[in-house]
Amino acid sequence: MLLNLKCVLFLAVTYFGLSNTKIINEVKQSIRKFPDGFSFGAATASYQIEGAWNADGKTETIWDHLTHNNPCSVKDCSNGDIAANSYNLFKRDVEMIRELGLDHYRFSLSWTRILPTGFPDKINEAGVQYYNNLINEMIKYNIKPMVTLYHWELPQKLQEMGGWANPHVTDWFADYARVVFEQFGDRVKYWITINEPYQICNAGYGSTTKAPQLNLKGIADYMCAKNLLVAHAKTYHIYNNEFKPKYGGVVGMSMSAQWYEPESEEQVEAANEAMHFGIGQYAHPIFAKEGDFPQIMKEKVSAKSAAQGYYRSRLVEFTEEEVNMIRGSSDFIGLNHYTTYLSYRSNVTLEEKQDSDVTSYQPNSWPGSASEWLKQIPWGLHKLLTYVKHNYDNPMVIITENGFSTLSGLEDDDRISFYREYLNAMLDAIEEGCNVAGYTAWSLMDNFEWLEGYTVRFGLYEVDFTTANRTRTPRKSAFVYKEIVRSRALDPIYEPNTKVMTIDEGH
Ligand code: NOJ
């Protein structure tokens, strides 16, 4: 394991008298290379970095609404009104991407910055201009834009009409997508329709941990899941039929993709069920040969709904036409992977409002981060990629997020070890034939971490949120990531000189 290489080196030199140079040479020979053409990037999302929440015609989204009306449901009672001020500092952001030497940058668009009414009747020129400026600045330096259409910011007015629980949202979203493809399709070749449907539906509609905090578990979350998949598929087909022939880009979705490991050999089925209710809920309809929600989900929700006295399953079914429209509606699978859970079979009562009969948890002994839910288990990524290969016919994978949280501070050795270990696990999977084409670090810079506010930091660059110009400073991990990207290799003992960050030639 990479983590232990430095210790081994230390022990070898100290106790076994081996020559330092000899061992360093041996370690250097074992340095693993990334495949040719592999794309390295970093990611952000509009609400988390842009600020300018009501500038130049932008209207209210569900996150503006939540943070303004219920401010202290965010840990530090903060909001994204200014955030990292990327609306004004995008040139510095692109400069950071150049400093890191990245191949791609994943960012998202704010729906109401482009369409203030939520609908295409009024296109906001200033909003379009902002994204044109950002995209053009990237193109100028050969950085591929990877654009997410929806990273959780529904127009508040659409929410008032039911949001993702209203079946009409599928057309509202498809119309917005068409405008976006028309405006930016000539320069953007990587599209992500929706970021983390699980968080949108299960957290936003099934609980209170994301906007719009509906808390209607087992009802609204399933309506949301169905509509969101239909919206995604409509968008995919619009691009495929009308834009792909002239622009040739690719379209996918970014799934929240944690790994569920059986607690023991007897718990394989339970962990598998957890996977079906997790990533499977969204990936199975698109990537499995038979399409539709996973069979186990359909059976469990239907049986529990009947036992609870409902006249029909709470899991809203797809029509055959919808199953066919959704199946195959992605050119790649985007995986947002952070962590792993252990799962075991449990007797869930009907009152508990949980449709899977599985409990999942993280042992306290697992190495943690600044976020309660984020434990560092790199082998989980290897298992996840293997699962995706076997269950979904080895699709092209782009890791659209992977990262680690710390408190503020520039010396982030824990983050460095996280990145090295997870990239190493990814290389194991690639060597075994998983079709991984790209890796995207979350995040380029510190940002508004949803209900955690600014209390935890994911950035390769630290942002000083106390200064008006939101100064960005590279962390040690930025220097290490830069070297990985430059050398296209994973050197486990590289120690950067963190004094000056420069832009290398060609960037
Ligand atoms: C997933 C989300 O897409 C992103 O917005 C969030 O900040 C990171 N995970 C870290 O929690």
Written as one string, the DSSP assignment of 218-257 is: TTHHHHHHHHHHHHHHHHHHHIIIIIHHHH--EEEEEEE-
Residue 21's CB is within 10 A of a number of other CB atoms, namely 8
**Residue 380: Cβ within 10 Å count:** 22
What is the pLDDT at residue 22?
72
- Determine the residue of 75, 336, 447 to mutate for testing ligand 1's pocket, defined as the one with the most ligand atoms within 8 A of the Cβ atom: 336
Cα–Cα distance measured from residue 499 to residue 479, given in angstroms and rounded to the nearest whole number: 10
pTM of the shown model: 0.96
Please name each of the domains of the chain with its CATH number.
5-490 (3.20.20.80)
To test the pocket of ligand 1, the residue of 46, 193, 196 to mutate (highest count of ligand atoms within 8 Å of its CB) is 196
Q: In tens digits, what is the pLDDT along the chain, a chain of 507 residues?
A: 454 555 555 555 555 566 777 777 777 778 999 999 999 999 999 999 999 999 999 999 999 999 999 999 999 999 999 999 999 999 999 999 999 999 999 999 999 999 999 999 999 999 999 999 999 999 999 999 999 999 999 999 999 999 999 999 999 999 999 999 999 999 999 999 999 999 999 999 999 999 999 999 999 999 999 999 999 999 999 999 999 999 999 999 999 999 999 999 999 999 999 999 999 999 999 999 999 999 999 999 999 999 999 999 999 999 999 999 999 999 999 999 999 999 999 989 999 989 999 999 999 999 999 999 999 999 999 999 999 999 999 999 999 999 999 999 999 999 999 999 999 999 999 999 999 999 999 999 999 999 999 999 999 999 999 999 999 999 999 999 999 999 999 999 999 999 899 999 889
Q: How far apart are CA 102 and CA 151, in angstroms?
A: 22
**Ligand 1 atom with the shortest distance to the CA of 374:** 11
Catalytic residue among 50, 273, 401, 449: 401
- Per-residue pLDDT of 307-331, as tens digits, reads 999 999 999 999 999 999 999 999 9
Question: Length of the chain in residues, anyone?
Answer: 507
What pLDDT is stored for residue 17 in this prediction?
A: 61
Q: What is the pLDDT of residue 10?
A: 55
pLDDT digits (tens, 9 = 90+) for 173-229: 999 999 999 999 999 999 999 999 999 999 999 999 999 999 999 999 999 999 999
Distance 153 CA to ligand 1 centre (A): 13
Q: What per-residue confidence (pLDDT) applies to 499?
A: 87
Sheet containing 358-361: order of strands: 259-262, 340-345, 358-361
Q: What is the pLDDT of residue 389?
A: 98
Instruction: List CB contacts of 63: < 8 A, sequence separation 6 or more.
Output: 47, 79, 80, 152, 153, 211
Question: Given this model, what pLDDT does residue 21 score?
Answer: 75
Residue of minimum CA distance from atom 1 in ligand 1: 336
The closest-lying atom of ligand 1 relative to the alpha carbon of residue 450 is 7
* Atom 11 of ligand 1, residue of closest alpha carbon: 449
Query: How many angstroms does the Cα of residue 442 sit away from the middle of ligand 1?
Result: 8
Average pLDDT, the chain: 96
Minimum-distance ligand 1 atom for the alpha carbon of 371? 11
CA 401 to centroid of ligand 1, rounded, Å = 8
- In whole angstroms, give the CA distance from residue 40 to residue 231: 29
Query: What pLDDT is attached to residue 25?
Result: 72
The answer to whether the beta carbons of residues 210 and 169 sit under 8 Å apart is no
What's the rounded Cα separation, in Å, for the pair 195 and 184? 19
Q: What is the pLDDT of residue 26?
A: 73
* Ligand 1 atom closest to Cα of residue 442: 8
Residue 451: closest CA among 207, 90, 248, 155: 207
User: Tens of pLDDT along 246-255?
Assistant: 999 999 999 9
Please indicate whether residue 269 is annotated as part of the active site.
no
Dist. CA 200 → ligand 1 center (Å): 11
- Strands (E) in 373-415, as ranges, are 397-402
Residue nearest to atom 7 of ligand 1 (CA): 449
| Spacing, Cα 450 to ligand 1 middle (Å) | 8
Tens-digit pLDDT profile for residues 295-304: 999 999 999 9
Ligand 1 geometric centre to CA of 73 (Å): 17
Q: What gap in Å lies between CA 100 and CA 209, rounded to an integer?
A: 33
Answer yes or no: are the C-beta atoms of 233 and 253 closer than 8 Å: no
Instruction: Identify the pLDDT of residue 3.
Output: 47
Q: Which atom of ligand 1 is nearest to the CA of 152?
A: 5
Ligand 1 pocket residues where CB is under 6 Å: 45, 48, 195-196, 336, 401, 442, 449, 458
- Residue pair 424/379 in contact by the 8 Å Cβ criterion: no
